[in-house]
Amino acid sequence: MDERVREHASVLVDWSTQIESGDDVVLSVGPDAHELAVAVAEKLGERGANLLATYDSNELQRAYLRAHDGEFEGSAEHELALYEEADVVLSIGGQRNTAAKADVPGETRQAYRKANAAMREAKYDTRWMSTVHPTRSLAQQAGMAYEEYQDFAYDAILRDWKSLAEEMSRMKDLLDDGSEVRVVKDGTDLTMRIDGRTAVNSAASVTYDSHNLPSGEVFTAPYATAGTVLFDVPMTINGEAVRDVRLEFEDGEVVSHEASQGEGVLTDILETDAGARRLGELGIGMNRGIDRFTNSILFDEKMGDTIHLAVGRAYDACLPEGETGNDSAVHVDMITDMSEDSWLEVDGEVVQRNGRFRWEAGFEG
Amino acid sequence: MDERVREHASVLVDWSTQIESGDDVVLSVGPDAHELAVAVAEKLGERGANLLATYDSNELQRAYLRAHDGEFEGSAEHELALYEEADVVLSIGGQRNTAAKADVPGETRQAYRKANAAMREAKYDTRWMSTVHPTRSLAQQAGMAYEEYQDFAYDAILRDWKSLAEEMSRMKDLLDDGSEVRVVKDGTDLTMRIDGRTAVNSAASVTYDSHNLPSGEVFTAPYATAGTVLFDVPMTINGEAVRDVRLEFEDGEVVSHEASQGEGVLTDILETDAGARRLGELGIGMNRGIDRFTNSILFDEKMGDTIHLAVGRAYDACLPEGETGNDSAVHVDMITDMSEDSWLEVDGEVVQRNGRFRWEAGFEG
């Protein structure tokens, strides 16, 4: 076994989910994630945690969803009971074909997601964490050779997370103290309110309310969005290529949308429910271990010198205690490159220009 | 997809577990059982059942068990909750290496099994069913080419179950009316009491209290066993080859045991607990679609012209309402060939000789 697989498992179990003896762990395993799952199982045994492995196959889901009449009756009781009793849900993605659900009708997907809201809530109440095992399908999606992709993925995953968390706390402080964010570049001039919201220092650990590995972003839950934004980074959403999404916002809501490719997928998402037309997240990518776009949102959105916005659900961690943010069955991230001819303002002050933060050498305010 | 995979799925969902709309189904998937799992998922979607897939990997289990200190604290709450809420547990075996757990210490296995008694009870309270997807590892274990093995496996699985159930009801009636069974062949002369017990017509459907596909056996829960039995069919138990097991019984209990190969595995099993030294099952194989031994208990024990005995746990279906039969954390089947120079008696009357039942042409009483 590649030693990096064991290191990945160590980060997941110790830094990310902080698993201890007696923890009830659900380990969700993609069909091509077997090797990492074995390494995690070993760590869970060492810690004396309890292990139940679930099988996360998009081919199974496709077969099930396509055969179903679409009348879903809410979360299944057995699945709900599993997540309600779980302490940790650790998802290791790894599909053989990232497009395996491409022919599932959008309305069936949406109906299934909507029906499973209670199950998702129960999962989000655990110390949940999502990662991927570097697979050949992800390498292909990135347009990279397999071993090249492994090097890329482990550079992003096996970072000095403690040190990155310290750097990211600077950005969190700026957002926590600020009231309005403005993003400006060619095709984009967007303002969002962030006062009253708390930014998350997403350092790939549940202690930071961070639930992705790799992570390396600071995010918050904006509102009252106005203006226009162009997402110029290529994406794959629900297995389909989506390019050059342009959204126009008025009073916090998307009032027009277009894309040069995959506009149908975008329309399906925006029509899921009312919350799907409002922003749930503004994220600022700060993981410079990620040095290129690989057509995978988990990596792309964390890349240094990018920002992303998500339509749909907001994370509770960004909201004042007891307050409900934007609610939706979806949460779909879209990315824009901030490395050139672009800047980010907080309350009228430039905090990032052309990919340099204000605390970095070479920053021009 | 091989049409037989879809037929296998149909038998499982319709005949075996009789799944209906709204049923909460746990589908346990081996790493090499993906194709059958996809076919089952499609049927579950058609029926409107709820699907949660678990990942049954002996390599994961090995990594977990070997790393654990062996102090298991009982069934995990999340796993227990899952099975308690499930209506159906459908297990599709399919490992890449049937010996993958060979280096897990016997005492760790036993401790894990003992700790998980409550979880097993919850599972046995559902409409549970176990089958295997024909894999290369099973073909190898059988000493067969892969396509040859597929033909063998589907001959055993895709039977006219209704018609076989009718034939097996004759044997059930004989056992239900009888008090004592005697098995005689070279190296074997064993008597068992069966009065007060109910035989199961194991026709691969939960409506018959039958939980294996393939099945095709009639079994009951014997007691007060006395005499000697030689199991001359090769077996793989816990991943290890076991040959020529000889057990001697007095007053229902094993008083001596030996094997020409794998005696250590046998000893581990018999020492699990008190119930592991008593019989939990007498089964009479009646599936003539199974025409050879393939070193897999699921198939071998159902073969026409064999009988098998299991040490350990008895099935509740064989016992009077409210009565507890032999209890144990194990249930390990061992087989003896009855096709030549052998006979089976019920209350002194020969019911099978040299592989012919009394209702068949060529039977000599």
Q: Supply the CATH number for residue B60's domain.
A: 3.40.1830.10
Q: What pLDDT is stored for residue A240 in this prediction?
A: 86
User: What does the pLDDT average to over A312-325?
Assistant: 91
Answer left, alpha or beta for residue A20, where phi above 0 means left and psi between -120 and 50 means alpha.
beta
A338 domain residue, yes or no? yes
Task: Say how far residue A155 (Cα) sits from the centre of its chain.
Answer: 18
Say whether pLDDT at A99 is over 80.
Answer: yes
Say which amino acid occupies B265. Answer: V
Angstroms from B273 CA to nearest CA on chain A: 24
pLDDT tens digit sequence for A107-159: 999 899 999 999 999 999 999 999 999 999 999 999 999 999 999 999 999 99
Distances (CA, A) of A108 to A70, A101, A181, B37, B250: 6, 11, 36, 21, 63
A191 within 8 A of A1, measured Cβ to Cβ: no
Q: What pLDDT is stored for residue B52 in this prediction?
A: 98
Residues in B closer than 8 angstroms to A52, CB to CB, are 54, 76, 78-79, 82
Answer left, alpha or beta for residue B30, where phi above 0 means left and psi between -120 and 50 means alpha.
beta
Give yes or no: residues B228 and B130 share one domain.
Answer: no
pLDDT tens digit sequence for A289-304: 999 999 888 999 999 9
- Does residue B227 or residue A238 have the better pLDDT? B227
Q: What pLDDT is stored for residue A322 in this prediction?
A: 85
Q: What pLDDT is stored for residue A238 in this prediction?
A: 78
pLDDT tens digit sequence for A60-73: 999 999 999 999 99
Indicate the Cα dihedral angle A76, A78, A83, A84, nearest 10°: 100
Residues in B closer than 8 angstroms to A81, CB to CB, are 81-82, 84-85
Domain closes at, from A157, A177, A208: A157
Give yes or no: residues A35 and A92 share one domain.
Answer: yes
How does DSSP assign A161-211, residue by residue?
HHHHHHHHHHHHHHHHH-SEEEEEETTEEEEEE-TT---EEE-SSGGGT--
Query: Is B55's CB within 8 Å of A59's CB?
Result: no
B45 domain residue, yes or no? yes
Q: What pLDDT is stored for residue A256 in this prediction?
A: 97
Q: What pLDDT is stored for residue A95 in this prediction?
A: 97
Query: Is A82's CB within 8 Å of B84's CB?
Result: no
Say whether pLDDT at A365 is over 80.
Answer: no
- Which residues does residue B253 pair with via DSSP β-bridges, in sequence order? B250, B278
Q: What pLDDT is stored for residue A69 in this prediction?
A: 96
A23 domain residue, yes or no? yes
Percent of chain A topping pLDDT 90: 92
Q: What pLDDT is stored for residue B86 in this prediction?
A: 98
| A301 contact partners, CB below 8 Å, separation of at least 6 | A217, A283, A285, A308, A333, A335
B29 within 8 A of B56, measured Cβ to Cβ: yes
Task: Say how far residue A214 (Cα) sits from the centre of its chain.
Answer: 10
- B46: tokens are 């058609």
Give yes or no: residues B292 and B169 share one domain.
Answer: yes
A343 domain residue, yes or no? yes
Indicate the Cα dihedral angle B166, B170, B171, B176, nearest 10°: 120
Query: Is B78's CB within 8 Å of A37's CB?
Result: no
Number of folded domains that form chain B: 2
Q: What pLDDT is stored for residue A14 in this prediction?
A: 96
pLDDT tens digit sequence for B326-360: 999 899 999 999 999 999 999 999 999 999 999 99
The beta-carbon neighbor of B78 closest among A57, A68, A85 is A85
pLDDT tens digit sequence for A340-352: 999 999 999 999 9
- B25: tokens are 């189904």
Give yes or no: residues B192 and B151 share one domain.
Answer: no
Angstroms from A104 CA to nearest CA on chain B: 13
pLDDT tier at A364, thresholds 50, 70, 90: confident
Using CA atoms, how far apart are residues B326 and A165, in angstroms rounded to an integer?
A: 58
| pTM for the whole structure | 0.88
Q: What pLDDT is stored for residue A267 in this prediction?
A: 96
B149 within 8 A of B134, measured Cβ to Cβ: yes
A16 within 8 A of A40, measured Cβ to Cβ: no
Give yes or no: residues B221 and B342 share one domain.
Answer: yes
Percent of chain B topping pLDDT 90: 92
Angstroms from B131 CA to nearest CA on chain A: 17
Say whether pLDDT at B324 is over 90.
Answer: no
Q: Which strands make up the sheet holding A253-258, listed edge to edge?
A: A253-258, A245-250, A223-231, A188-193, A180-185, A342-346, A349-353, A356-357
Q: Give the residue from B32, B40, B58, B60 with the most A CB atoms within 10 Å of its CB, the best one to mutate.
A: B60
Give yes or no: residues B50 and B170 share one domain.
Answer: no
Angstroms from B64 CA to nearest CA on chain A: 4
- B91: tokens are 């297990």
Give yes or no: residues B83 and B183 share one domain.
Answer: no
Which residue is it, tokens 């599936």? B287
- A127: tokens are 């110390």
Give yes or no: residues A25 and A57 share one domain.
Answer: yes
Using CA atoms, how far apart are residues A283 and B350, in angstroms rounded to an integer?
A: 80
Give yes or no: residues B24 and B153 share one domain.
Answer: yes
User: What does the pLDDT average to over B135-150?
Assistant: 97
Domain closes at, from B137, B157, B177: B157
**Mean model confidence pLDDT for chain B:** 95
Using CA atoms, how far apart are residues B191 and B143, in angstroms rounded to an integer?
A: 34
Answer left, alpha or beta for residue A266, where phi above 0 means left and psi between -120 and 50 means alpha.
alpha
User: What does the pLDDT average to over A200-213?
Assistant: 95
Residues in A closer than 8 angstroms to B57, CB to CB, are 29, 34, 37-38, 53
Q: What pLDDT is stored for residue B137 in this prediction?
A: 97
- Does residue A134 or residue B235 have the better pLDDT? A134
Three-state SS for A58?
helix
Give yes or no: residues B183 and B303 share one domain.
Answer: yes
First vs last C-alpha separation in chain B: 48
Using CA atoms, how far apart are residues A168 and A209, in angstroms rounded to an integer?
A: 14
A364 domain residue, yes or no? no
B364 domain residue, yes or no? no
Provide the residue range defining the domain that includes A81.
3-157
Give yes or no: residues B219 and B130 share one domain.
Answer: no
Say whether pLDDT at A217 is over 90.
Answer: yes
Q: What pLDDT is stored for residue A237 in this prediction?
A: 86
B365 domain residue, yes or no? no
Domain closes at, from A123, A157, A191: A157
Which residue is it, tokens 């110390």? A127
Say whether pLDDT at B365 is over 80.
Answer: no
Answer left, alpha or beta for residue B255, where phi above 0 means left and psi between -120 and 50 means alpha.
alpha
Give yes or no: residues A143 and A246 share one domain.
Answer: no
The CB-side HSE value for B360 (13 A sphere, CA atoms) comes to: 16
